[in-house]
Each structure stands twice: as structure tokens, then as C-alpha cells.
Amino acid sequence: MNNFTGKTVWITGASSGIGAALAHILAAKGAKLILSARSVDKLEAIRQSCHSPDDHFCLDLDLVDPNSIDAAWNRLQNIPRVVDILINNAGMTQRSPVLETRMEVYRHLLEVNFMAAVDLTRKVLPGMIERGAGQIVAVSSLMGKFASPQRSGYAAAKHALQGFMDSLSAEVHAAGIRVLVASPGFVNTDVSRNALRGDGTLHGKMDPEQAAAISAENCAEQIVAAMVKGRAEVFPGGKERIGLLLHRISPALLRRVMRKLKVE
């Protein structure tokens, strides 16, 4: 995937953060975008700010609602485009201990971070297989590799996403379809402000680690570079990526570190 010119790229969570940054980069490389999120007004602003805005369109989508996903897919059938690349970028995290987290919050996190990506992937996959080409990108997290306190639902969903994409990659590689899992560490976006507390309300503040993290643009550039190279994984981020090394060479040490980690 070294030429995005004329390729149709569907990006979820495109109204801000990493999704918006991906939109700007891919549009500048000649891609035609399908931009999805809940806020049509924000999506429209992103579309207008992209290179060649008339080549792109907005498709409102609520990933918590399977009916919304079906409706969006049905709308796409009336548009003369095939989806060459799907970027499952939308996601939501949490800030709450297990015993203080309601079951509906866990279900919400699983729907946004895992089930919706599975649903969208299954919708675009038959066409890709028929054409013998395509790319599925999942924006996961380091929490899909290991977990920290007060992220139980988020980590569980991202672990599930990682497992699904690993299995998918093995199934479709021979059909000419490439699968990339991007697992960023901290990225300077509003993800911590939008994190769910145990009762479903918003965390509402920027975490210090988030504020000091790499930019969404930096993260998106690394993801696009990995797409071009046909890589299976990429890990944008900073020093927090040492957790990957600890997970590989000393899981016991990583567990001790996580037990001492203070999370607000």
C-alpha cells in the first residue's frame, strides 16, 4: 500500500484526535475519505480542512448502536465507491476501579472498542476478498498488550481487538489483504477527558501523561508509514513503551510496577 491516490479510506472517530490527523495526512496523499463519527458538524469541519474536500464525505455513525452501523453501511451501498482501506480508529477509555464500574459501562466500552470494529470489518471484508486487495487498520493501545489499574474494561476490549485482528490477519493474508494493529502509548488528545468513570459520567480532565505525550499528528504519521510498509504492528508513543519490553522479558516485574502505579 504505497499509493493512496484514488483509494477510498473509511476512518471512524474522524472528528478529532488521531482520526482527524489521519484524515489530513491521507487526503494530502490523494485518498478519498469516508469520515465517520457521531458529530456531523465536527466531521464537516474536518472534511473542509482536508486537501480536496469535495473528494470526501461525512457519514454519521454511533458505534454503540448496531442499528446505526447497519444504517451507515446501507447508505454506503448507494454511493459508487468501494472501501479499499478501513481504519477502525474510534475508541473510548475509562478511569474507574473494577468494583466501582457499572456493567453498562463495560458493555459500552466493549461495543465502542471491539464489537463495532468487528462489525465494520465483517462488512467491508467480502468486497476486499473479491477484489484481492485491501487493508484493515485497527487503532488499539498499549493496553491491548498489557494492562494498568482503572482500565479493566478498556484493556479487556483492546486485548480482544488485538486477538481478533491477529486471527483475521492469518485468515486473509493469502487473499491479498493486509492487517495493521497500531498500539499507541500516550497521545495528546482528548481521550482522557472523554474517559468514562464507573457511573458512566465523563472523567472530564486531561491526564498529565496525556498532556506531555506525542501529538496526534506524530502518531498518525507513524501509522500511515506502517500502512505504506505493510507492517502488522506499530507502537507510537514515548517512554511508556518500555512496558512492552518488560512484558516480554519479565512479566512478573511488570506486574509489580503496575501494582505500585498511582492512577487518578
pLDDT digits (tens, 9 = 90+) for 83-106: 999 999 999 999 999 999 999 999
- Does some domain include residue 262? no
- Does some domain include residue 60? yes
Q: Is the dihedral of CA 232, 237, 242, 243 positive or negative?
A: negative
The DSSP-derived string for 70-109 is: HHHHHHHTTSS---SEEEE-----B---GGGS-HHHHHHH
- Does some domain include residue 126? yes
Domain that holds residue 17: 8-239
Q: Which residues are annotated as catalytic?
A: 154
CATH for 12: 3.40.50.720
Name the amino acid, one letter, at 160. A
- Does some domain include residue 15? yes
- Cβ of 29: how many Cβ atoms within 10 Å? 15
Query: CA 127, CA 131: separation in Å to the nearest integer?
Result: 6
Using one digit for the tens of pLDDT, what is the confidence trace for 177-203?
999 999 999 999 999 999 999 999 999
- Does some domain include residue 2? no
- Does some domain include residue 252? no
Give the pLDDT score at 112: 97
- Does some domain include residue 224? yes
Give the pLDDT score at 80: 79
Ramachandran sector of residue 200 (left: φ over 0; alpha: ψ -120 to 50; beta: rest): left
Per the structure, how many domains does the chain have?
Answer: 1
Which pTM value belongs to this model? 0.95
Cα torsion at 69, 74, 76, 81 (round to 10°)? 130
- Segments in the chain below pLDDT 50: none
- Does some domain include residue 125? yes
